[in-house]
Chains A and B, each alone.
Chain A
Amino acid sequence: MDITIPALILCLPLFMFLLLGIAGCKMSHKLAGWLGCLGMGTCLVLSYFTAFTYYFDPQFVAENGERIQHTVFNLTWLQFTDNLTINLGFLLDPISALMLVVITTISFMVHLYSLGYMEGEKGFQRYYAFLSLFSFSMLGLVVATNIFQMYIFWELVGASSYLLIGFYYTKHSAVSASKKAFIVTRFADLGFLIGILVLSYYTKTFDFIKMTSDPSWVLASTEGATFMGASVLTWALVLIFTGGMGKSAMMPLHIWLPDAMEGPTPVSALIHAATMVVAGVYLVARMFPVYMMEGAATMFIVVVGAATAFYAAMVACTQVDIKRVLAFSTISQIAFMMVSLGVASLGNGEVSHHGLGYMASMFHMFTHAMFKALLFLGAGALIHAVHSNDYTAMGGLRKYMPITHWTFLIGCLAIAGIPPFSGFFSKDEILSACYAWSPYIGMWMSMVAALTAFYMFRLYFLIFWWNNPDYGHHKPHEAPLPMAIPLVVLAAVSCVAGFIPFGHFVTWDRMPYDIHLDWTIAGTSIVVAVCAIALAWKMYCKENGLPAKFKNALPALWDWCYHRFYWDELYMFITHKIIFNGICRPIAWFDRHIIDGTMDAFATVTNKASYAIRGLQSGQVQMYVWVYLIGALLLAGFGVLCLIM
């Protein structure tokens, strides 16, 4: 493929960032917004073109039907040794093409939506500049040809996420949320970096294609090296996964994501629902053949994923803030993808199941991005209308906001797994993969799916039905056009995306195969979902005493769920009480007294020496020449000394 279009896909958002960042303050809000949309729109068209060419042009399919991994360009950026170089490139393969489509679609929708949502906000241009920066970093991340490039963009994504969460920088909660997100993910990235270094130390490469095309070679290169009872490869893969846990908000590093909802809602839709948070899934998918070689690391992924999925679903059932509900729902759904990848790589001996979980995970990543962005943007429209995040301020809104209502309902049906909406198909594939590996994990995930349907419809009924609060004179209004269009488009995509024959495009070995719905599993999950929705309808459709009764029946459980199982408090305790007192204070003392003291002494000596020799520069030429001559002779003397030694 020609280098121009892929290079443009990366350069355009970067250019828009620089343009809006530098010249933005001299533009009007309108111009900046439309420029941002135009830039992203062009990027969208180019990405669609690239992905379309990749999927349908026969030159990207090998003779045996395998889709080839195509490196469009790969420039050496920093050369450490002959083998170990950091390259910057553009890798086109099924998953990166898929992500190009997802990122540019959602990003463009969010750009458009923000025209309405952010109208009149202070720093409008800055907002668009950061959106462009984020899009650039995310695109760079998915097309990375090597793990170090991915790491670079991974950090850039983290930085732009930080900037966007803290967009309302005068609001205290937003500032602390952005700090929290940055610190937690950065902490996880430390693991990622160590993992990269360990892996590259043994394999002598950063390159994805080299590592994944022949993973047995990776295994062989780390042969025999162990650390604390586990093989080095396991350590490296688990550490790399730690980075993914941070970005994808897996337990116990999930605590930043609910707080990140302090950012503007479109940002939550783009970054904290559809794109950045699936980076961890993407990372594991990228390294999938290597993970497949290493049972212990994948077991870890499955356990973490399954625990997170259940935990987040439980918490989502009790939250009041609608964005928090969606945030926990996101955590739970990403955990679905992780589990799916995990069981795919473990397999049960039958080759088709390797493919199934991987394909299902990518499929769910695609459909989830669409319907979760839809739900977030819908939530944004609601917040825009009633000026509050809490469902207690909403209720009966279906009459005031029909478009938002219908699109939100489609989103809920999709995530609950009701056919023919997209979520049904992808979730069914995930459950099939889980059942194929182990019925227990399958049942566990089915239970989480039921919880998903329940909390989503709890939210839906509480917002759109329940009881009208007194809206007063200020009646809620329907979303303006720029906000309504993305809702309708994403809802339409959520309706039809399930019918895409996904197995033809994205599989782990890049060989196309047909998807078969397993109707036993699909039928069961439909029944389960419908029961959960019915329960939600019974409890929340009309104002009644059932929820309160339920809460009083299980006060402890409700309390734990409501307080997110006290994870934040636990973190507070560990950091403030144990780490601050036990580790930080001694280090601070050491820093202040020993290190600073040494440095001060160093500075004093330097200063004294500098003062003492100033006479050398007397300004007299005779003196200069003398010093020169004596210097030359001393140099010769030194040389003779070296000779004798």
Chain B
Amino acid sequence: MDYSQFLAMKQEIGLLIVFLLVFLYDTFMPRSAGKQLPVFASVLMLIFTAACCFCPCLAGSESAFAGMYETSAVIAAIKNILNIGVVIVLIQSVKWANSEEMAPRRGEFYELLLVTLFGMYLMISARHFLLFVIGLESASLPLAAMVALDKNRYESSEAAIKYILTAVFSSAVFMMGLSFVYALSGSLYFQNIYLALTGQHSTMLVLALAFVISGVGFKLSLVPFHLWTADVYQGAPTSVTSYLSVISKGAAAFAFLVILCQAFGAVYANIWEWMLYALIILTITVGNLFAIRQRNMKRFLAFSSVSQAGYIMLGVIAFNAMGLAALMYYILVYIFSNLAAFGVIGAIENATGKVSMDDYRGLSKTNPRLSLCMMLAMFSLAGIPPFAGFFSKFFIFTGAINQGSVAIYVLVLIALINTIISLYYYLLVVKAMYIAEEAPVVETFKSSCGERIGLWITIAGIIGLGIVSCVYNFLLDTTATSAINAYFM
């Protein structure tokens, strides 16, 4: 075996080192040093991310293990985007991780989180379904444990049991789909599947596609595979929820695109595009319709993230380089916007334990800065210019429209109408904070240092990413030259 191929896995190895350091620190340092673990982990992750971002880009793509694993500039970029999100999550969760009841489980949070991130790396880089399933499972199962971290709270354990049951079920369906695929093509390599399925169509293939899509759709919480989302988001500790809502979703979206174009890209008449078409409409609309009724902020953001996943899928259905760039940009912007919202929610929850939208009434009077952050996050999520969310929506719509068919125009129109509905519920939060006449519920409080740094970063991202265009241009250049382009037609 040629061990030099491990060199292609620089990012995975780096992450593994971070994991080991955190693990060793947690295991061997005295109890009294445990309080420094969150800062230690955040700084380590930050250094790792910075190192990844600034290391020279790959010129072409590298593969390892007989083509099971692949990495390239685009893949490195999406991993970096996830890393940035993880850094923010870690910074924001310092205070929560240092709380009294978390003391015995502090290390577990970090270890489990890094393991799931590792799993997502594998999902993104896998070019063989076996490796993909390993990634998928190691990104899913530890998450259940993370959801249950707050195990003394009834909701937390309920959420975990719901998550694990549905996750296991979805994995089973996904594997069923894979077995059909294997039966049809005789291989689990994406490349071989692509060749074997070129121009093919059969009922079995359609069934296989439906099962595979539903398996990944579960991670993305596409409707109708989304029902776990609200309960889990609500029950899980807020830091875990924010991780779940952005990082896990971002990784799944990218992996989804890779599977669909590299393994099933040549299927007759791209049947999966029509399936996706239906799923997108359902996801955006149903997510919005449920979000309107929510009063609990975490549940509300859960449904908002369901509908956002539908928008992300527009980048997949676009099926061109611009769609891919727009998808990555959308994920990046979504990370910043959603983490800003969760940052505020977490800060308020940590300080007062309140998570209902009614508790946000008059927040602008007692906590003007937090309200401002929340407002900017809502504006960005709703896609109001000049915030980054507007540009990410703009680019993802443009990418989809570039695909050119009439059906896509209709789809984009539906998505546009849905942004109006989403504007309504995002503004409900702003209304509660700024316009409501009632006496403020939440007292003035001082948020912790970590929460503040996290919010500063996210707000800088929300404002800056829209204006500083070089980020999107960089992504566009990277995708335009990447090997994945060969699969787009």
Contact = CB atoms under 8 A, between A and B. Distances in A.
Interface of A: 75-79, 603, 606-607, 609-611, 613-614, 616-617, 619, 621, 623-625, 627-633, 635-636, 638-640, 642-643
B293 A628 contact: no
B426 interface: no
Contacts of B25: none
Given A621-B166, A642-B271, A628 B476 contact: no
A614 B424 CA distance: 18
Contacts of A603: 424
Given A627-B224, A643-B201, A76 B230 contact: no
Contacts of B278: 635, 638
Contact of B473 (A76, A616, A640): A76
A606 B293 CA distance: 11
Interface in B396-453: 421, 424
Contacts of B203: 640, 643
A609 B275 CA distance: 23
A214 B146 CA distance: 65
29 contacts: A76-B469, A603-B424, A606-B421, A610-B293, A613-B290, A617-B290, A621-B162, A624-B166, A624-B228, A625-B169, A628-B166, A628-B170, A628-B227, A631-B214, A632-B173, A632-B211, A632-B214, A635-B210, A635-B279, A636-B206, A636-B210, A636-B211, A638-B274, A638-B275, A639-B206, A640-B206, A642-B274, A643-B201, A643-B269
Contacts of A613: 286, 289-290
Contacts of A628: 166, 169-170, 173, 214, 218, 224-225, 227
B73 to A, nearest CB: 19
A26 B465 CA distance: 30
Interface residues of B, number: 44
B1 interface: no
Interface in B184-225: 201, 203, 206-207, 209-211, 213-214, 218, 223-225
B408 to A, nearest CB: 15
Contacts of A639: 206, 209-210, 271-272, 274-275
A619 B234 CA distance: 12
Given A627-B224, A628-B225, 9 more contacts: A79-B476, A613-B290, A624-B166, A624-B228, A628-B214, A629-B173, A633-B210, A635-B214, A636-B211
Most chain B CB within 10 A, of A609, A614, A624, is at: A624
Contacts of B286: 613
Nearest to B391: A78
A590 to B, nearest CB: 19
Interface in B108-145: none
B211 to A, nearest CB: 6
Nearest to A633: B210
Interface string B463-489: 000000110010010000000000000
B165 interface: yes
A621 B201 contact: no
A79 B472 CA distance: 10
Interface in B256-307: 268-269, 271-272, 274-275, 278-279, 286, 288-290, 292-293
Chain A binding site: helix, strand, loop or mixed by DSSP?
Answer: helix
Interface in B144-171: 161-162, 165-166, 169-170
B241 to A, nearest CB: 17
Nearest to B282: A631
Given A617-B230, A621-B166, A636 B290 contact: no
B210 A632 contact: yes
Contact of A625 (B166, B292, B421, B473): B166
B173 A611 contact: no
Interface in B332-383: none
A614 B230 CA distance: 12
B206 A617 contact: no
Given A79-B476, A632-B214, A639-B210, A625 B165 contact: yes
B166 A614 contact: no
B231 interface: yes
A623 B228 CA distance: 10
A630 B293 CA distance: 25
A615 to B, nearest CB: 11
Contacts of A642: 269, 271, 274-275
Contacts of B166: 621, 624-625, 628
Contacts of B293: 610-611, 614
Contacts of B469: 75-79
A254 B269 CA distance: 62
Contacts of A621: 161-162, 165-166
A617 B275 contact: no
Contacts of B424: 603
Q: Which of A611, A624, A639 is the most central at the interface, judged by chain B CB atoms within 10 Å of its CB?
A: A639
A380 B235 CA distance: 67
Contacts of B279: 635
Contact of B206 (A619, A631, A643): A643
B231 A619 contact: yes
A430 B290 CA distance: 70
A629 B210 CA distance: 10
